[in-house]
Structure 1
Amino acid sequence: MTGTSSLKDLLTRNLRQSGIYIAFVFIIALFAILTDGVLLSPGNITNIVLQYSYILILAIGMVIVIIGGHIDLSVGSVAALTGAISAVLVIQQGMPWWVGMLAAIATGLLVGAWQGFWVAYVGIPAFIVTLAGMLIFRGLTLQVLGNISLSPFPQEYQQIASGFLNGLLGGQGFDAFTLIIAAIAVVGYAVNSYRTRRRQIEYKQPVESMPLFVAKLLVVAAIVMAFAYQLSRSRGLPIVLILLAFLILTYSAVTKRSVFGRHVYAIGGNLSAAQLSGVKVKKVNFWIFVNMGFLASVAGIVYSSRSNGAQPAAGGLFELDAIAAAFIGGAAVTGGVGTVVGAMVGGLIMGVMSNGMQLMGIDQSIQAVVRGLVLLLAVAFDVYNKRRASGAR
């Protein structure tokens, strides 16, 4: 059936994703009130971007792993190992900062290939392989660092996670360059959304009515520009935000429009059907973990840059934060469902909650309880939706 859908129909058809966005807005509003507006202050918004960027990078790779029906428990240890290798080369041996980056990325790719081999070609469940990897790579981190911390990195390396682009176009009390980049992003989003809507109509898929479509674009534009304005009033456009935006756009396109992305969804949704359809399951699974290793190395570089050094205990619980971001953002426990954008929203929900509770002075133990309950409720909601859908059929 073609035509447009009402708001009620749209929310009913896509309750889970709509619910995530509504929950995100509600959580921001709640903590903005509870912190007397400090949460949305220019400096704090900048800090949220800097503090949680590496978790969001990990969440991009983790949601692809989960869509494929797997899990990766080793990403925190891999991030620690890649940061340690970079620190040894740059800080201890005095090599250029970019050599440390390349070595970290190469290490991440090798780790991903190692784990992908055991999962894809030997057939060991990813849970076991990455659990072993968590121990192996944590031990290697201790070996590489000699059980000591290394710091500081040169200024160029620190700029990866702590640098800003500002003052390029001036501005009275704000950075004009940041606002222009945000405006370009909004226009690009609007054009892409309009093209997607036209394709859906051509394929006789239901879409929201034009007024609802325009309203959605206006809301997104308002949020993005307000966010950019607050950044522009602080220190300008964070370099790590540009990196994160590039990764989000790239992997959104990969998951939605590439053959690899469709195969990942097929494997996670129905492995037997994917095999019968000619999908090269082993090859796809192998590259899922190579990609996760790559993104873990990028997160390791960002984290070591942010902390201006490498520590033996770095990356602790990063894997749990990344997994939580993917599940809260709409990924299904059984695989085959999830989006990169959803994982980003899930990660931001966790980040805003943590930051808000820190501003309120809530004890770390209570923060852990709240975050655990949010994850449990998100997965319970997914299970409830599946049961309701099965009952309807």
Structure 2
Amino acid sequence: MNFFQEAGMLLKKNIREYGMYIALAVIMLVFTINTDGLFMSSRNLSDLINMTGYVAVLAVGMTLVIVIRHIDLSVGFVAGFLGAVVALFLTKFGLPVWLAIVAVLVIGAIIGLINAFFVANLGIPSFVVSLAGMLIFKGFLLMSLVETGTIIISDENFKAIGNGYIPSLGNWNGLHVSTLIVGALSIILLIWSDFTKRKVNITYGFEVLSVPMQVLKLVFISGIIGYISYILAGYQGISWTAVIMLIVVIIYHFISTRTPLGRHIYAVGGNPEAAELSGISVKKVTYIVFGSMSMLAALSGVLFTARLASASPQAGTMFELDAIAAAYVGGVSAAGGVGKITGTIIGAFVMASLTSGMNLMGIDISYQYIIRGAVLVLAVVFDVITRNKGK
């Protein structure tokens, strides 16, 4: 098999995953051209990452929920409510930042476990449970702010979570040195990880890419990482929001791809009955996934509240729909059992890039909603077509 045949076969086998990368590249190119380079400017790219952060964190949790054939519509207002709770902890009760954040993460996990009880033990459809939760936590959000209204947060350490950047180790030709170092280390880690995985696959007799194809893939991905690092270094560097989002992605990607729990989650999503017969506790998996989902909703609420340096009654509106859209656009199957954390993050950036680019071009908000809706429909159609071809 020659190089081009291998490339064609690789693209065909991974069209669901690679399609989103191609779509994101095309979207960025189109908006960069139509905004005379403003879209890919250092400041706009930094703002785009910060704007995506809280949705991406939610979308990571939503990916696993959809994979096990459920849905959680409550996470938007769970995020909004717990964002208000962390604001109250900081302003009214004077808790330290770390303790306030840990407290709302624990509360979030408990909320998810309660949702899981109704779904796993009582057999109530997750759509109904989470729809009820959406209304309940919208009420809790309004109730928590009825006396104070919008809560303004003055704690600089907390605000830095949503608006701060990693410290700089210096300035080199106007570039943020720490960001360049992080970019270089990321490329080194990528190359080491990829070749380590290749060695393991060869040891166990699994199929691997040819050396030229693997080198080309690494050069391409390394080029993207290096270019983004260079652009971000031209502004204020990597934000703490980006760091938190990256940590969440790494942890959940590892869990979903390298652990027994991850295999159990996908087994339940593929066929719950067969998974139960094979000894996997579907109830346990449901509890873990829903508990994790609401804990990430709490983290999303923290990021959003820190970004705005305030908690308001409008917080959380449409968050759950943005997370669901990011998951579907990123390749998660509506039928369950299929989807990657990395794909969902790309989906989140696709949706955020559309919003950012259309805003820069001055496109009317009504058309923006239509275009984003059309992209979501196309993503689901693409999922159905590729799934049917695979049968």
> TM-score surpassing 0.5?
yes
Give the share of equivalent positions with the same residue, in percent: 38
Counterpart Cα distance in 1 of 2:79 and 2:305: 9
Counterpart Cα distance in 2 of 1:225 and 1:87: 37
- Residues 349-364 of structure 1: pairs in structure 2 closer than 5 A: 349-364=350-365
- Structure 2: gaps spanning 5 or more residues: none
Q: Could you tell me how far 1:369 is from its partner in structure 2?
A: 0.6
Counterpart Cα distance in 1 of 2:20 and 2:168: 36
Q: Could you tell me how far 1:94 is from its partner in structure 2?
A: 3.1
2:109 matched residue in structure 1: 109
2:348 matched residue in structure 1: 347
1:118 aligns with 2:118: yes
1:19 matched residue in structure 2: 19
Q: Which amino acid aligns with 2:104?
A: A
**What is the TM-score with the length of structure 2 in the denominator?**
0.96
Q: Could you tell me how far 1:99 is from its partner in structure 2?
A: 3.1
Q: Is the 8 A contact 1:182 1:228 kept in 2?
A: yes
Q: Deviations over 1:313-362 (max 9, x none)?
A: 10111111111111111110011000000000000001111100000111
1:31 matched residue in structure 2: 31
**What is the TM-score with the length of structure 1 in the denominator?**
0.96
Query: Secondary structure of 1:39's partner?
Result: coil
Q: Is the 8 A contact 1:90 1:99 kept in 2?
A: no
Q: Is the 8 A contact 1:162 1:238 kept in 2?
A: yes
- Residues 1-393 of structure 1: pairs in structure 2 closer than 5 A: 6-146=6-146, 148-390=149-391
Q: Which amino acid aligns with 2:48?
A: I
Counterpart Cα distance in 1 of 2:71 and 2:200: 33
- Structure 1: gaps spanning 5 or more residues: none
Q: Could you tell me how far 1:302 is from its partner in structure 2?
A: 0.4
Q: Which amino acid aligns with 2:68?
A: G
Structure 1 window deviating more from structure 2 (71-80 vs 12-21): it is: 12-21
Give the number of equivalent residue pairs: 388
Q: Deviations over 1:242-261 (max 9, x none)?
A: 11111111111000011111
Query: Secondary structure of 1:94's partner?
Result: coil
Q: Is the 8 A contact 1:165 1:237 kept in 2?
A: yes
Q: Could you tell me how far 1:5 is from its partner in structure 2?
A: 7.2
Q: Is the 8 A contact 1:84 1:144 kept in 2?
A: yes
Counterpart Cα distance in 1 of 2:107 and 2:154: 19
Q: Deviations over 1:286-334 (max 9, x none)?
A: 1100000111111000000001110111011111111111111111001
Q: Could you tell me how far 1:146 is from its partner in structure 2?
A: 1.2
Q: Which amino acid aligns with 1:173?
A: G
Q: Which amino acid aligns with 1:274?
A: A
Q: Which amino acid aligns with 2:107?
A: T
Counterpart Cα distance in 2 of 1:5 and 1:284: 41
Q: Which amino acid aligns with 1:311?
A: S
Query: Secondary structure of 1:335's partner?
Result: coil
Q: Is the 8 A contact 1:73 1:319 kept in 2?
A: yes
Counterpart Cα distance in 1 of 2:109 and 2:272: 25
Counterpart Cα distance in 2 of 1:69 and 1:295: 19
Structure 1 window deviating more from structure 2 (112-121 vs 331-340): it is: 112-121
Q: Could you tell me how far 1:7 is from its partner in structure 2?
A: 0.5
